Amino acid sequence: MTQVKTPMNRRSFLKVSALAGGGMMLSFSWLAGCKPTPEEVSNLSKEWFELNSYIKIGDNGVVTLMAPNPEFGSNVKTSLPMMLAEELDIDWKNVIVEQADFYPERFDRQFTGGSLAMQMAWKPLRTAGATARHMLVQAAAKAWQVPAGEITTKDGMLYHEASGKEAGYGEIASQAAGLPVPEEVPLKKVGDFKIIGNSKKNVEGLNIVTGKPLFTLDHKQEGMLIAMIAHPPAFGQKVKAVDDSAARSMPGIKDVFIIKTLEEGYVRNGFDTTSFTELVVVVGNTTWEVMNAKKALKVEWEKISDSTVTVAGWGGNQQTVTIPAGLESTQGHLAKMAEMAKKPGKELRKDGDPEGAFKKAAKVIERTYTAPFLAHNCMEPVNCFAHVTAEKAEIIGPIQAPESIMQTLTARLDMPKEKIHIKLARMGGGFGQRAYGHHLVEAAVISQKLKAPVKLVYSREDDMTYGIYRPTYTATYKAALDENNNMIAYQVKAGGIPESPLGFAQNRFPAGAVDNYLAEEWALNSNITIGAFRAPRSNFLGGVEQSFLDEVAELAGKDPIEFRLELLERAKRKPVGKQNDYDPDRYAGVLKLVKDKSDWKRGKSDVHRGVSAYFCHNTYVAEVVELLMKENKPVVEKVYAAVDCGVVVNPDAATNMAEGGIVDGIGNALFGEMTFQDGVPQKSNFETYRMIRHSEAPKSIEVHFVKSEADPTGLGEPLFPPIFGALANALYRATGQRKYNQPFLQDKQPLV
């Protein structure tokens, strides 16, 4: 049993107090045969007692667990409270889960992204649960006048075997609420878990399938107006003049005006990516009326000049970012990237003498890969509700990183953060886009100007053409083999617009597995705004690196899995360098598992197979794709995935996340692409921006998790990058042609 210090998150354990009132009850195990009214359910508990910020216990024994992180489909609203329930030792049937509002004074790290939710919450939430249980035990010991060490708990009950005394948590909660927070508490051993590791259904499942209001678009309020924005049609443009006379005369329209979302000189944070800081706003009674009035606007646009903005990066270090003038096009991007790829890049890592190794090599192979900008295309377009008065600001919106946007809201509204309340609405998809809270700022500024509650709604076209795309990338790989077909040198030079994909990946496999290694990068500025996209940077590198390694294995005459395992054995036995950020045993473990589960050595004449393995976001993944060619088109029959993410908290949810990442990756690899002509996005809705269809998803997906007692890591992103490589390698075996440029298929047929 692990002892943990509770003060590590002291702000999460506030002074306990009794709370009047109750909460919504989804189900009670002892009411299976009854159908209480909502009023009856809410009144079943007369008092709730707060043991810490995450846990409330009703006097009837029902427990409310707070889900601190925003939810966008990754099921953190279910999985995170499971950690609390495990250590609290409560029956899951008697648990209510509530979405916490943004409240940094009470909850640590209310951010969903980077596949970090489970990893970052693992110790704090378990500590919160264990602390509450400890306080209940201490209160019972005091009431019964027995040693606390003799009291046991199970399913929300306290027992003292020697005296035969027992009580429910609800009976003791009021007394526990008055006790001090302990200095440290023990945590359970993994082998003792009863809830963690056992699948729990989505706590919002019933509400989702019955269409209950969950999203900001569902929100209604008396006096609420609808707002829509018009932004420049091209990156590199801004508003010059507006003729709004026709729009103002249309039914239901209240006002038309221009807003400035960020003031001059404002120091941005990492999530203050705002594509257009001046927007034309149309406000009216209904979405339909506002949408039609927006079409009647006559806006004159002009080109921007070169400018710079100051951005405070992680750790507070400020940097100046250049936003160049000009109207950019895809063909120009490709030409510039090809030119930059020929020049020396910024050296990130160098082991041995790669130049000398290439000169004396028996075989050398070099390949270049490209990938386009990608739009996020969340199912729920951008939207936000705001009601800003002189006294306070109420914000309801889909946001992954509320803490970052709070800084911006405070500065722009000229209002202290204590007066700004952000309610974390469920998000209809995130994928990194929702980390950028420009829509919260826009809605708040509009509401402040109108002195009225406002719901800002983007059309799909607004959403898709606004920016915050996955950057466009290119990478050139080079490998050298000796006369025995051993890889003796490896080189990668990668860059993109407006960032390099390499980042910290210079220390990932196969770094450490080859004596002579070189990693270089470069980047070109752009006025097309980019942001995090599922598995940032890795979503490109993971695929192209694994595609290249397959080609190297073929040149060496080796099986692609065995080739990778040989390199990993070298990295384990005699690693090169000291900065390698992966565990060779765990990396090899997923390759061996997927080899076994896919029966890699078996042969089928009509099935073509590709393998890939990648480590990112602290999780190891190996995947095998099986596909057929039908009518000259690939049909993915099956995908096998082996995953090492430490302890799997909620197996069904973990499997669902893995399957979603695989399907999303296949769709983006085959079809995903945003192109530009003179700054104008060439795709604005799904009739031109090709997404994967149901019939194109794999017919079957098998996900296998490595049994582990290591602390859990993430699953939202790590399954995504390697599927690009596995698919490319399978396509090569099916067609005899390597895939060097994404998307793999240029399918122009219309949606049906």
Is 58 contained in some domain? Answer: yes
Task: Write down the pLDDT at residue 6.
Answer: 66
Please tell me whether residues 49 and 174 are part of one structural domain: yes
Indicate the residue among 431, 457, 483 that finishes a domain. Answer: 457
Task: Write down the pLDDT at residue 273.
Answer: 84
Whole-angstrom Cα distance, residue 399 to residue 385?
12
Whole-angstrom Cα distance, residue 37 to residue 382?
35
Indicate the residue among 426, 457, 488 that finishes a domain. Answer: 457
Is 743 contained in some domain? Answer: no
Residue 16: both structure tokens together = 């306990």
Please tell me whether residues 402 and 479 are part of one structural domain: no
- With a CB cutoff of 8 Å and minimum separation 6, the contacts of 197 are 647, 648, 649, 651
In this structure, what DSSP letter does residue 557 have? T
Please tell me whether residues 282 and 431 are part of one structural domain: yes
Please tell me whether residues 447 and 479 are part of one structural domain: no
Say if CB 451 and CB 389 are below 8 A apart: yes
Please tell me whether residues 368 and 254 are part of one structural domain: no
Say if CB 368 and CB 474 are below 8 A apart: yes
Burial group, residue 368, by CB count within 10 angstroms (0-12, 13-18, 19+): middle
Whole-angstrom Cα distance, residue 624 to residue 682?
34
Helix (H, G, I), strand (E, B), or coil: what is residue 396? strand
Is 589 contained in some domain? Answer: yes
Q: What is the pTM of this model?
A: 0.92
Is 335 contained in some domain? Answer: no
Please tell me whether residues 570 and 668 are part of one structural domain: yes
Residue 212: both structure tokens together = 């209950």
Is 463 contained in some domain? Answer: no
Number of structural domains the chain divides into: 3
Task: Write down the pLDDT at residue 563.
Answer: 98
Please tell me whether residues 54 and 80 are part of one structural domain: yes
- With a CB cutoff of 8 Å and minimum separation 6, the contacts of 739 are 547, 728, 731, 732
Alpha helix stretches (DSSP H) within 317-365: 330-341, 354-359
Range of the domain at 362: 344-374+469-735
Please tell me whether residues 241 and 182 are part of one structural domain: no
Whole-angstrom Cα distance, residue 656 to residue 658?
5
Please tell me whether residues 191 and 93 are part of one structural domain: yes
Peptide bond into 498 cis (omega under 30): yes
Whole-angstrom Cα distance, residue 159 to residue 166?
4
Say if CB 743 and CB 673 are below 8 A apart: yes
Is 647 contained in some domain? Answer: yes
Task: Write down the pLDDT at residue 746.
Answer: 76
Residue 275: CATH number of its domain: 3.30.365.10
Task: Write down the pLDDT at residue 316.
Answer: 72
Burial group, residue 472, by CB count within 10 angstroms (0-12, 13-18, 19+): buried
Indicate the residue among 209, 234, 255 that finishes a domain. Answer: 209
Is 330 contained in some domain? Answer: no
Please tell me whether residues 528 and 448 are part of one structural domain: no
Is 324 contained in some domain? Answer: no
Please tell me whether residues 192 and 82 are part of one structural domain: yes
Please list the ranges in the chain whose pLDDT falls under 70. 1-4, 6-44, 603-604, 747-752
Closest CA to 646 of 612, 617, 611, 614: 617
Please tell me whether residues 391 and 479 are part of one structural domain: no
